[in-house]
């Protein structure tokens, strides 16, 4: 994407970052480019990759948007899924148990526990769907539906391919449009060639980014995962996505050349100058749970956002587009941030890429 006055507004949680336009001449990159960018932890945009498959799932997408609307209006997701038409999708393989509370996530709206059943007997337990807000901003109605298993806080200590696969299957029962990705033969072949093994689409999240919403800068490095696949199904999103080392360079250059006009307070500017003069401290602050002044720079400084767009790190995703985000390691991963570009909520899929276990 490119910076443009009067284009699409990059607005998130009360902060207008500027205006952009999608670049002309959208075309699929050649595989050698995809392979090079994957190794370098650069985001890979596959424009229109899924476009031909979207009409076949139009009813499922419309139904998902209705579920999202009902949840936003205050209905219980458990009550919605207990309706006959949704219950039929689950049976006989999944039994919905009850709403539970994780107790540690203030953005959680509802968490629903499931058992997997085989031949009428318990097959696997502690599989769940969690519905969450993306922020507490009063104008941001963004929500997500995450499908996983086990203990959230200790996920790295759990390695259970069976429940991982069942959680992915549960996502496909509740949101059949997941098949746009999981059943796409050409995409699967591309990923197999890129990764060197057959991909499994796990830790599935269904996103509905709403006006004023979208994820702030973060990475998604997880043990056993090689990256993230994001598929835009309805609506448009803008992305800032770049490798960690490139992000650190852009931060340092901005602080050196453009900080005075950033609008940041004097004490914040002083702290950023100190951090950029001490690279190890800057990395530690970037990776910290509380990023402090780094969070202000990354997510609330329009001049820095505009720099990233001008430097070519921005992309606009339209329905049918795929974005691959390599997550090799903490020091070799693609950091990214998202903006909703429309005046109504959208619909997208986010799947972690793992090795398929037979």
Note whether residue 185 is domain-resident: yes
Six-digit token string for 258: 């453009």
Note whether residue 55 is domain-resident: yes
Note whether residue 268 is domain-resident: no
Q: For the segment 44-62, what is each residue's pLDDT rounded down to a tens digit?
A: 999 999 999 999 999 999 9
**Residues of the domain holding 63:** 2-243+307-355
Q: What is the pLDDT of residue 156?
A: 53
Q: Provide the pairing of β-strand 121-133 with 227-234.
A: unpaired
Q: Lowest mean pLDDT: which of 100-109, 122-131, 273-282, 321-330?
A: 100-109
Six-digit token string for 144: 């997500």
| pLDDT at position 78 over 80 | yes
Note whether residue 301 is domain-resident: no
Q: Is 292 helix (H, G, I), strand (E, B) or coil?
A: coil
H/E stretch holding 85: helix 84-90
Note whether residue 139 is domain-resident: yes
For the chain, what is the domain count? 1
Note whether residue 264 is domain-resident: no
Six-digit token string for 88: 């039929």
- Determine the angle formed by the axes of helices 302-310 and 244-257, rounding to 10 degrees: 120
Nearest 10 degrees: CA dihedral of 285, 281, 313, 179?
Answer: -50
Q: For the segment 106-153, what is each residue's pLDDT rounded down to a tens digit?
A: 899 999 999 999 888 899 999 999 999 999 998 999 999 999 999 876
Q: What is the pLDDT of residue 2?
A: 65
Q: What is the pLDDT of residue 263?
A: 92
- The pLDDT of 173-190, averaged and rounded, is 98
**Partners of 172 in the beta sheet?**
none
Rounded to whole angstroms, how far apart are CA atoms 47 and 105? 35
Q: Cite the beta strand spans of 76-185 per DSSP E.
A: 94-100, 108-118, 121-133, 143-149
| pLDDT at position 275 over 70 | yes
Q: What is the pLDDT of residue 95?
A: 95
Note whether residue 293 is domain-resident: no
Tokens 């006959």 belong to which residue?
A: 84
Mean pLDDT across the chain: 94
Tally of CA atoms within 13 A in the half-sphere of 17 that contains its CB: 34
- The pLDDT of 317-324, averaged and rounded, is 98
Q: What CATH number is given to the structural domain containing 73?
A: 2.60.120.10
Nearest 10 degrees: CA dihedral of 222, 130, 346, 237?
Answer: -20
Peptide bond into 274 cis (omega under 30): no
Q: What is the pLDDT of residue 26?
A: 83
Note whether residue 279 is domain-resident: no
| pLDDT at position 334 over 70 | yes
C-beta of residue 345 within 8 angstroms of C-beta of residue 65 = yes
Q: Provide the pairing of β-strand 143-149 with 94-100.
A: unpaired
**Cα–Cα distance list, 300 to 81, 263, 296, 297, 305 (Å):** 38, 10, 5, 6, 9
């Amino acid at each position: 994407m490119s910076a443009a006055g009067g284009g699409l507004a990059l607005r998130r949680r009360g902060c207008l970052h500027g205006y952009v336009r999608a670049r002309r001449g959208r075309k699929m990159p050649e595989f050698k480019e995809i392979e090079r960018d994957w190794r370098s932890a650069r985001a890979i945009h596959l424009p229109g990759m899924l476009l031909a498959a979207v009409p076949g799932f139009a009813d499922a997408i419309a139904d998902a948007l209705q579920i999202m609307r009902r949840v936003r209006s205050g209905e219980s997701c458990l009550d919605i899924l207990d309706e006959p038409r949704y219950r039929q999708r689950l049976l006989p393989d999944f039994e919905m148990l009850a709403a539970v509370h994780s107790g540690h996530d203030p953005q959680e709206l509802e968490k629903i526990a499931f058992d997997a059943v085989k031949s009428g007997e318990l097959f696997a337990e502690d599989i769940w769907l969690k519905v969450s807000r993306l922020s507490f901003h009063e104008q941001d109605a963004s929500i997500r539906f995450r499908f996983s298993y086990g203990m959230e806080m200790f996920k790295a200590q759990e390695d259970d391919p069976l429940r991982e696969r069942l959680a992915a299957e549960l996502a496909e029962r509740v949101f059949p449009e997941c098949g746009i990705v999981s059943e796409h033969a050409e995409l699967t072949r591309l990923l197999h060639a890129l990764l060197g093994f057959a991909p499994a689409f796990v830790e599935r999240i269904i996103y509905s980014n709403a006006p004023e919403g979208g994820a702030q800068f973060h990475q998604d490095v997880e043990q056993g995962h090689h990256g993230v696949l994001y598929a835009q199904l309805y609506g448009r999103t803008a992305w800032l996505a770049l490798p960690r080392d490139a992000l650190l360079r852009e931060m340092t250059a901005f602080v050196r050349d453009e900080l005075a006009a950033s609008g940041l307070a004097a004490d914040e500017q002083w702290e950023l100058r100190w951090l950029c003069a001490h690279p190890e401290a800057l990395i530690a602050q970037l990776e910290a749970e509380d990023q402090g002044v780094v969070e202000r720079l990354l997510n609330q400084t329009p001049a820095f956002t505009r720099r990233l767009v001008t430097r070519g790190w921005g992309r606009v995703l339209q329905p049918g587009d795929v974005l691959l985000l390599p997550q090799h390691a903490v020091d070799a991963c693609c950091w990214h941030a998202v903006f909703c570009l429309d005046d109504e909520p959208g619909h997208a899929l986010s799947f972690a890429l793992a090795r398929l276990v037979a």
